[in-house]
Each structure stands twice: as structure tokens, then as C-alpha cells.
Amino acid sequence: MNAPLRRVAISVLVLFTLLIINVNIIQVVRSDDLRGDERNTRVLAEEYDRERGSIIVSGNEIAVSVPTDDRLEYLRTYPQGPLYAAVTGYYSLVYGNTALERAENDVLSGEDSRLFVRRIADLFTGRDPAGGDVVTTLDPAVQEAAMAGLEGVTGAVVALDPSTGAILGMASTPTYDPALLSSHDPEAIRTYMDEITGTDAPDPRVNRAIENNYPPGSLFKVIVSAAALQEGYTPETVVPAPDIMTLPQTTQQLRNFNNSRCDPSQQQRLIDALTISCNTAFAQLGIDLGEDKIRETAAAWGLDDEKMEIPLLVAPSGIGDIESDAALGQTSIGQRDVRMTVLQAAMVAATVANDGVQMKPYLVDEVLAPDLTVIDETDPEELRQPISAEVANQLTEMMTSVVARGSGRAARLPGMEVAGKTGTAQVRPDVADHNWFMGFAPADDPQIAVAVFVANGGGTGGDVSAPIARDVMAAFFEGRG
């Protein structure tokens, strides 16, 4: 009987080897898939068993976890959900995390290494490890004014502190209520998701301040002006400003807005060209300066096709390929392939306001441990300096003229000078134009820089977006007393 016994012994070895191979496949090869499977509630349940940290705006929690009686111990709530949705994002059983809930997840969930010392202490004291808090740079008055201004339109507002880069406001419309995507009821979550994304209406989950870039139109003329000033032009330099301009090597004609005339003499001072936003003047100026100079200047301001983190991911801004002088002419008035995020527009205004120094924008001011001690604080950081303080002063003078007597008059504030630039960007012949405004105030001692974007607003930057910017700035100064 020994021969079959040996065969049985070997067969048993084979069977057990099969078991071991199979366990290897599950626990090693398929491990990540199984662990990350959205139906695997283990990892999630562990997360929900901890008190997740809060997201805070000037002392108030805009995302906070509260204890519940159900299977998952904590429920994520958003007391002013729609107002801050673009910043907080959601924390969803079904759809995962977005925005700050995602970018600062390590801190909020308590896994960040900066919290680690405390977590070891937690082990010994037997406390449940809790997450840290994220204190944002937002100013509630600015945020509320921005959302109020965008009411009923699709668009975005970004407000910056020009001297630090702190983001004072970041609004995007249409908005949604993140609380409804963060409940503990997967069915209700799916229903709400269908409701907000299942139609032709613009997707409210897109943060239009940073995730998309748009043609900036005449905002770009500020950058062309900067290039000219660096090349020895002054605001007083007289430049050609014809009624109609034929683009080089084409029969294509470039006109001014509404076929208007910039100046009867077919030429004007640079400051006047910017004030009334003369297309032909800047198209010609751009062609005169040359592609290299335009590209170099644009990149120096941040239109360099690079992504950025604030810590939310920001889409790149750039000017695209320029095949000819004709294309260069169109590029110089912010059309063709020029694209900017709303944040980038705010950064351009802030750079002029901050004597030519561009600060790195940031959304997180402080990180707090669960016991509310500050464990990290953001130090303002210089990102780049595209222009000298002198050029910045000249641009401020020109942009102040835009608001005082030009296309941006709707942004004027009582008691202080405002600097700014309007933009009305053509999208397609059959679609209404995008309306832009960027600016800062007060012009002589800038406290706030703002960019407003209204998608397909149907008017001009001056009459659609400038008033929103004005209200945001007014709210800011009112809040400061």
C-alpha cells in the first residue's frame, strides 16, 4: 500500500500548494483592488470611526464631523455647504473625496506625519486618534459677496491678498450642497448626484476658478503692455490705433469692439489704448514686439502651461502655439489659443498690485492638531517677479485709468481709486462672449486683488463682471471696518 500512499501524500502537497497560490493571488496580486474596492467598507469604516478634522473659515467650521448613532460613527456635515462647496469639496461614501477634503485628507483623517507624535501618544492614552483641523485663508465677507454676485450665472471669482498670495475668496457657480453627497445613505447620494449632473446644465462639481481655463480676451493686454513698458515704451508713447487692421499675410480684418473707432487720428497713447481696450493698437503692438517677447513675458507672469497646487490642483494657463504674425496679433488681444484660469487672472492683477512680485497663492493658512495647537503655518512665498516695481507703477497708472474713465467704470468704489482691466472674450460666433474683470484696490496701497469670470455672460466685461468685482471689494473693505 506504500506506493499509492506516497502518491496521496504528493497529491495533498499539490492541493495545499493550490491553496497557497490562491491565497497569494488574493492577498498580493488582487490585494490593492480588493482593498480599494468601493464596496469594501473596511478602510472606509475605519476612517468614519475617527473624528475627522474640521475645515475652518475665520473661526467657523465649514466642514465638520458630528457623531451619529448609525453604523458609521461620524457624519460629515457642511453648515454652509453651497457657499463653500468649491473649496471644501465633498467626502462621499460613494464618490470619494474632492477639493480640500481630498488635498488635505492626511491632516483631516489624522494620518499626516506632522500629527504622528500625537498619534503615538494616543496609543498609550487609549484615545481614539482624531484628525487635525485645516484653517483656510478665506474671508467670509468676500466669499459671500462673490457667491451673491455670481447668483444666476455660470462663472467664478477669485480674490487674493496681493502681498501674501492668501486666497480671500474662491467661488464657482453653479454650486451644490456637499452635505448631500456626504451622507451615510448611498442611495440618496446617487440620487442627488444624478440630480446635479444628469442634465444639460453646467456641472456644479467643477470649480471654475481653477479647474478650467478660458480665453481671457482683453485681460491679456495688460501683459502685452508690460512687455512694451519693459522694452522702453511709456504710458505716454503713441502707438498706431487704426479703425480696421488687416492681419499680416492674410486678408483677415481685425476690428475693434462693436466696430468702434479708437481714435480719429488712427493713433493714441498706450494708456489710452488700454483705457478703452483698443484691439488694433494691441494687435499691432504685439506684432511689433515679436512672438519671443510676448511668449517670454507671458511665461514670466505664469502663463507657462504648468500646473500648480494651492493645494487644490490648478489647471495650467498659457498662450498656445503661434504660427504666424496674424496669429500673434490675435494672441495679443487674448484670443486665439490664450487660456487663463480665473485664479491666474487674479494673480496677474495681484502682481501689478504687489510692485511686480507674484506671490504663491495658498488656501490653507494653518494646520491645527486635535487639541487646537498650531502645528503648521503657511509662510507667504514669492513665486516670481515678472516686472520691476517701476513697470508695476506704470501699469497701475494705466489700469487706474481703465476704471476711472474707461471700460471698467462699473468697478469704481467711493473714496478710493480702483485699478483694473475688463475682458470680453469671443468663444464661438454662435455663443455669447465670456465676460471678465480683474483689478485691485486701493490703487495706491492695494489690499485685495480680484478676478471675476462670467461664462457666456452675453455683455461686456465692463458691464457684467466689473460690478461683481466692485461688490466683492466693497464687502472686503466693509468687513475690515
Partner 1 sequence: MPGPVTDPRGQVATDTPTRRGTEAALLGFAVLITVVAQIIVDLTVTGHLRPEMAGFSVWITALWVVAHLVVRRWASYADPLLLPAVALLVGLGLTVIHRLDLAAEQVNSTVTREDAPVQLIWATLGVALFVALLVVVRDHRALSRFAYTLALLGIVLLALPAVLPASISEVNGAKIWIRVAGFSIQPGEFAKICLVVFFAAYLVDKRDVLALASKRVAGLELPRGRDLGPVLLAWILSILVLVFERDLGSSLLLFGIFVVMLYIATERASWLFIGLLLFAGGALIAYQAFGHVRARVDTWLDPFAYIDGAGYQLVQSLFGLGTGGLFGAGLGGGRPDQVPVAKSDFIASAVGEELGLFGLVAVIVVYLVLVERGLRTSLVVRDAVGKLLAAGLAFAIAWQVFVVLGGVTGLLPLTGLTTPFLAYGGSSLVANFVLVALLVRISDAARRPVAPHATPVRLGDAPTEVVMP
Give residue 150's Cα distance to chain centre: 15
- Closer CB to partner 1, 59 or 126, in the complex: 126
- Closer CB to partner 1, 30 or 405, in the complex: 30
Provide the minimum distance between the beta carbon of 22 and partner 1 in the complex, in angstroms, as a whole number: 4
Provide the minimum distance between the beta carbon of 14 and partner 1 in the complex, in angstroms, as a whole number: 10
Provide the minimum distance between the beta carbon of 17 and partner 1 in the complex, in angstroms, as a whole number: 9
How many angstroms separate the first and last alpha carbons of the chain?
A: 100
With beta carbons less than 8 A apart as the criterion, state whether 363 and 201 touch.
no
H helix intervals, 68-115: 81-88, 99-103, 105-109
Report which DSSP code applies to 209.
Answer: T
d(CA 344, CA 317): 7
- Closer CB to partner 1, 23 or 188, in the complex: 23
Kindly list the residues in this chain that would bind partner 1 in the complex (CB under 8 A): 1-6, 8-9, 12-13, 15-16, 18-20, 22-24, 26-28, 30-35, 37, 39-43, 45-46, 126
Provide the minimum distance between the beta carbon of 429 and partner 1 in the complex, in angstroms, as a whole number: 50
Residues 6+ apart with CB under 8 A from 467: 149, 410, 411
d(CA 94, CA 78): 17
Element (H, E) at 193: helix 186-197
Provide the minimum distance between the beta carbon of 24 and partner 1 in the complex, in angstroms, as a whole number: 6
**Catalytic residue among 218, 225, 277, 332, which?**
218
Query: Is the four-CA dihedral 277, 213, 81, 456 of positive or negative sign?
Result: positive
d(CA 110, CA 215): 40
Four-point Cα dihedral 284, 384, 84, 143, nearest 10: -70
d(CA 112, CA 119): 10
Provide the minimum distance between the beta carbon of 119 and partner 1 in the complex, in angstroms, as a whole number: 14
Answer yes or no: 225 catalytic: no
- Closer CB to partner 1, 34 or 431, in the complex: 34
Q: Which three cell numbers stand for residue 183?
A: 451622507
Provide the minimum distance between the beta carbon of 36 and partner 1 in the complex, in angstroms, as a whole number: 9
- Closer CB to partner 1, 34 or 201, in the complex: 34
Cα three-residue angle 363-308-304, rounded to 5 degrees = 135
- Closer CB to partner 1, 68 or 250, in the complex: 68
d(CA 468, CA 128): 46
- Closer CB to partner 1, 42 or 480, in the complex: 42
Residues 6+ apart with CB under 8 A from 4: none
- Closer CB to partner 1, 39 or 428, in the complex: 39
Q: Is 62 left (phi over 0), alpha (psi -120 to 50) or beta?
A: alpha
Task: Determine phi and psi for 204, rounding to 5 degrees.
Answer: -70, -15
Task: Report, as residue numbers or ranges, the catalytic residues.
Answer: 218
